[in-house]
C-alpha cells in the first residue's frame, strides 16, 4: 500500500508477532518505519526472536526499547507491557472489553472470574492508563474450563482484524476518532507477581480450577507448598459432587485414586491432574501421600 504515512509498531509476545505478520500482509512492510521489540522473561516463550527475525526478513528496522524512533505518523502497541509516554498518536491494544479490567493481566483475571465473554479493545493512548477514547472492540463468548493459552489463541484473530482495519484507515489519512469511556463502569486489574501464583484453597473448587487454568502455560503455573517443597499445579478439575465434611480443611488431600489426589477446597473438591516440582520440573504424579497438605505457606525444613 503506497502511502506517505508510516507507523512504528511496539510488539511483544505472540499477539505482537501475529499482528506484525498480519500488517506485513495487509499494508506491506514499507508502511512500518520500525518495530520496537522487547523480551519478556515472565513467559515460557516470548516470541522476541520471532518478531526480530520476521522484521529482518522483510526489511523492517528493529529497535530496542528506549532507542530513538525514526520519523513516523503514528504508533501501535500490541502486547506491550511498558509505558510509552512520548507518542502523541498511539493506538493501544488491550486484553479486555474496556472500561472493565483496566491495567495489568486483564485476560488472566477475567478468566479467573469466569467472565462469559473476553475480548480486545483498541484505544487511543492517554495519560491515565487504559482510559483513552475507544476506537473499536471485538469480543467472543467463552465457556469453561478454558486454559489461558487457548483463550489467547482465540483472541489473536480479533487482534489482527482490528489492527488491519485501524492501521489501513490511519495510513489512508482518515481521521480516526474514538468515543469516551463510561467512567462509572470502569474496573481495574492489578499487577501480578510470584506470590499471586499461589492457590488460595479457601476459595470454591470452580474458582480454583479456573485459577489454575488462567495462570498456566505460557505463564509459570499455579503453585503450592507441600511441606518444604514448592510444587506447580499445571492442570486440575473441579469435582462435580461435593461431600459433607464435618469440618473443612482446605488444602488437605482427601483421597487418591489411580495416583490422582483430590483436594479439599473452601467449597467443593478439586482433582489435581498434573503436578510437578517447581524447581526441577519433575512430575509428581502418581501421588502417594494421603497425609499431605497443599498450602500457601512453606513448612520449615
- Examine residue 2 and state whether it is found in any structural domain, yes or no: no
Domain residues for 93? 7-189
56 & 124 share domain:
yes
The confidence band for 1, taking pLDDT boundaries of 50, 70 and 90, is very low
pLDDT of amino acid 39: 95
Q: What is the pLDDT of residues 280-295, one digit of tens each?
A: 999 999 999 999 999 9
121 & 64 share domain:
yes
How far is residue 255's CA from residue 141's CA, in Å, rounded to a whole number?
35
The confidence band for 229, taking pLDDT boundaries of 50, 70 and 90, is very high
- Examine residue 269 and state whether it is found in any structural domain, yes or no: yes
pLDDT of amino acid 159: 98
Query: What is the three-class DSSP state of 189?
Result: strand
pLDDT of amino acid 249: 96
182 & 34 share domain:
yes
Q: What is the total count of domains within the chain?
A: 2
198 & 63 share domain:
no
Q: What is the pLDDT of residues 50-64, one digit of tens each?
A: 999 999 999 999 999
Q: What is the pLDDT of residues 113-169, one digit of tens each?
A: 999 999 999 999 988 889 999 999 999 999 999 999 999 999 999 999 999 999 999
Supply the CATH number for residue 217's domain: 3.10.25.10
DSSP state, residue 225: E
Supply the CATH number for residue 52's domain: 3.40.50.170
Summary mean pLDDT of the chain? 95
Pick the closest to residue 107 from 237, 182, 214 (CA basis).
214
* C-alpha R_g of the chain: 22
pLDDT of amino acid 290: 97
Q: What is the pLDDT of residues 62-77, one digit of tens each?
A: 999 999 999 999 999 9
Q: What is the pLDDT of residues 199-227, one digit of tens each?
A: 999 999 999 999 999 999 999 999 999 99
210 & 157 share domain:
no
The confidence band for 2, taking pLDDT boundaries of 50, 70 and 90, is very low
Are the CB atoms for 274 and 285 separated by under 8 Å? yes
- Examine residue 167 and state whether it is found in any structural domain, yes or no: yes
Q: Which residue do the cell numbers 506447580 mark?
A: 232
Q: What is the pLDDT of residues 177-187, one digit of tens each?
A: 999 999 999 99
Amino acid at each position: 500500500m503506497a502511502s506517505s504515512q508510516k507507523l512504528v509498531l511496539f510488539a511483544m509476545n505472540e499477539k505482537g508477532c501475529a499482528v506484525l505478520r498480519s500488517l506485513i500482509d495487509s499494508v506491506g512492510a514499507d508502511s512500518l518505519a520500525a518495530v520496537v521489540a522487547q523480551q519478556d522473561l515472565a513467559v515460557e516463550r516470548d516470541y522476541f526472536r520471532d518478531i526480530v527475525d520476521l522484521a529482518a526478513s522483510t526489511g523492517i528496522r528493529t529497535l530496542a526499547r528506549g532507542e530513538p524512533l525514526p520519523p513516523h505518523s503514528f504508533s501501535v502497541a500490541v502486547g506491550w507491557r511498558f509505558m510509552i509516554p512520548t507518542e502523541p498518536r498511539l493506538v493501544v491494544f488491550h486484553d479486555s472489553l474496556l472500561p472493565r479490567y483496566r491495567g495489568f493481566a486483564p485476560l488472566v483475571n477475567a478468566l479467573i472470574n469466569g467472565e462469559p465473554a473476553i475480548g480486545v479493545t483498541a484505544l487511543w493512548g492517554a495519560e491515565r492508563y487504559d482510559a483513552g477514547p475507544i476506537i473499536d472492540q471485538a469480543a467472543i463468548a467463552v465457556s469453561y474450563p478454558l486454559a489461558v493459552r487457548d483463550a489467547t489463541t482465540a483472541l489473536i484473530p480479533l487482534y489482527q482484524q482490528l489492527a488491519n482495519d485501524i492501521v489501513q484507515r490511519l495510513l489512508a489519512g482518515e481521521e480516526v476518532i474514538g468515543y469516551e469511556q463510561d467512567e462509572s463502569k470502569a474496573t481495574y486489574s492489578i499487577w501480578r507477581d510470584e506470590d499471586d501464583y499461589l492457590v488460595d484453597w479457601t476459595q470454591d473448587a470452580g474458582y480454583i480450577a479456573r485459577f489454575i487454568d488462567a495462570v498456566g502455560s505460557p505463564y509459570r503455573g499455579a503453585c503450592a507448598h507441600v511441606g518444604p517443597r514448592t510444587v506447580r499445579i499445571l492442570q486440575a478439575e473441579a469435582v462435580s459432587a461435593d461431600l459433607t465434611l464435618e469440618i473443612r480443611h482446605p488444602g488437605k488431600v482427601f483421597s487418591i485414586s489411580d495416583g490422582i489426589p483430590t483436594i479439599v477446597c473452601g467449597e467443593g473438591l478439586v482433582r489435581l491432574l498434573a503436578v510437578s516440582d517447581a524447581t526441577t520440573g519433575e512430575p509428581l504424579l502418581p501421588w502417594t501421600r494421603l497425609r499431605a497438605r497443599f498450602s500457601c505457606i512453606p513448612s520449615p525444613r
